[in-house]
Amino acid sequence: MSPPILVIGGGGHGRVVIEALLAAGEEVSGVIDPHPSVAAMLPDGVPWLGGEEALSAYKPEDYQLANGVGGIGEPHRRDVFERLGAAGYGFVRVRHPAASIARAGVVLGEGSQIMAGAVIQPGVRIGADAIINTRAAIDHDCRVGEHCHIAPGAVLCGDVVIGAGTHVGAGAVLIQGVAVGSFSIIGAGSIILRDVPDGVVVYSKDLRLERRR
């Protein structure tokens, strides 16, 4: 039997993670968040436990974590995963039962999250702590790096490569074979027809490409 799960972060993304875990029949023992106000938004039976100091009561060998921190291109989510992983905690893979995940050659990294309606085709590799959000479609043989966020409704055609820490905005479409560098942002609704370097923000509708600060 799998260990019970604590969700780190009870904001918007955290609640989506909780719903996916509960839908999959997992036991969610509570939420760790510095803001007591999140308690009012949690589903019945999932308590707010306190800020990160409350983790001291939950030993790494007895509990798994799920990363409920969201954000666009921000380092806080990655920091939570790396810092608490170094403290000995393992991060559960989140797979909503309404996601479609191929049986052939799919690799899901530690702490990766596949949300409702997402489609993962054969040969896809998803890195640790990456989010494949609601109704995103990842076609055959794509590579999505660790700590990436593929936002709702985004489409990666076959053989696309996404570098670590990159955010692909809602409804963006990346044609087959393109490569996107690490720690970049693809704007919502963009259509990406060619490779994108590291550390830039791309909005294809006005053909802007900005270096991230």
Number of separate domains in the chain: 2
51/79 same-domain check: yes
57/131 same-domain check: no
- Count of Cβ atoms closer than 10 Å to residue 84 Cβ: 20
The two tokens of residue 212 are 């991230």
Residue pLDDT, tens place only, 4-53: 999 999 999 999 999 999 999 999 999 999 999 999 999 999 999 999 99
Q: Which pLDDT does position 2 carry in this prediction?
A: 84
23/111 same-domain check: no
70/45 same-domain check: yes
147/180 same-domain check: yes
Q: How many Cα atoms within 13 Å fall on the side-chain side of residue 23?
A: 16
65/153 same-domain check: no
Q: Which pLDDT does position 3 carry in this prediction?
A: 93
Which CATH number characterizes residue 10's domain?
3.40.50.20
124/200 same-domain check: yes
Q: Which pLDDT does position 210 carry in this prediction?
A: 53
- Note down the domain range covering 71: 5-91
72/167 same-domain check: no
CA distances from 52 to 35, 59, 71, 76, 196 (A): 10, 13, 18, 14, 37
Q: Which helix (H) or strand (E) holds 82?
A: helix 76-86
Residue pLDDT, tens place only, 108-121: 999 999 999 999 99
Q: Which pLDDT does position 190 carry in this prediction?
A: 95
Q: Which pLDDT does position 205 carry in this prediction?
A: 60
Question: For residue 209, is it within any domain?
Answer: no
DSSP letter, residue 19: H
Q: List, in sequence order, every residue forming a beta bridge with 200; answer none if it has no partner.
A: 211
Task: Indicate the range of 13-22, 58-67, 72-81, 204-213 predicted with least confidence.
Answer: 204-213
Q: Which pLDDT does position 211 carry in this prediction?
A: 54
Q: Which pLDDT does position 64 carry in this prediction?
A: 98
CA 45 to chain centre: 24
Domain end marker among 91, 109, 129: 91
- Count of Cβ atoms closer than 10 Å to residue 40 Cβ: 8
Q: List, in sequence order, every residue forming a beta bridge with 89; answer none if it has no partner.
A: none
Question: Per the confidence metrics, is the pTM higher than 0.85?
Answer: yes
